[in-house]
């Protein structure tokens, strides 16, 4: 599983994830810091990345497009320190790995994890 972390998430999360064997990169490290959400989704889809974001727009774009990839994890817990976010993502991957591999929108809140498989039917 490869994780592409969006703006708004701590860049140092990448090093914490890599230490536990999860391939990851922050959009700021690859020239996508100011890219549109649609451009980030396109990049993720072409490279088989799962997008991790705080932004609800990614889920909206996927729902409207009817696309079956890329998968997106929306973290709805703001202010996470990098180490805590990395631990949270490791837990989400343990729970949702199969769904994410097939295409899913995942929402993570303090109360739990919600998974919706892609594509969403209109």
| Sequence-ordered list of residues with C-beta below 8 angstroms from that of 75, at least 6 positions apart, any chain | 9, 52, 53, 54, 85, 88, 108
- Split at pLDDT 50, 70, 90, the class of 120 is confident
pLDDT in tens, 65-114: 999 999 999 999 989 999 999 999 999 999 999 999 999 999 999 999 99
CATH number at residue 111: 3.40.50
Domain membership flag for residue 83: yes
Provide the 10 A C-beta neighbour count for residue 40: 24
CB under 8 Å to 112, separation ≥6 — which residues? none
pLDDT tens track for 16-70: 999 999 999 999 999 999 999 999 999 999 999 999 999 999 999 999 999 999 9
Domain membership of residue 122 (yes or no) is: no
> What pTM does this model have?
0.96
* 3 state SS of 22: coil
pLDDT range class, residue 8, cuts 50, 70, 90? very high
Q: Does residue 99 sit within a domain?
A: yes
Residue 12 lies in a domain: yes
């Amino acid at each position: 599983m490869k994780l592409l972390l969006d703006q708004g998430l701590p860049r140092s999360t990448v090093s914490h994830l890599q230490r536990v064997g999860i391939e990851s990169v922050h959009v700021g490290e690859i020239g996508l810091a100011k890219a549109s959400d649609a451009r980030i989704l396109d990049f993720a889809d072409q490279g088989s990345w799962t997008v991790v974001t705080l932004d609800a727009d990614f889920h909206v774009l996927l729902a409207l497009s009817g696309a079956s990839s890329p998968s997106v994890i929306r973290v709805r817990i703001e202010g996470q320190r990098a180490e805590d976010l990395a631990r949270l993502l490791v837990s989400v991957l343990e729970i949702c790995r199969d769904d994410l591999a097939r295409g899913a929108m995942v929402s993570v809140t303090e109360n739990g994890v919600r998974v919706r498989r892609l594509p969403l039917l209109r």
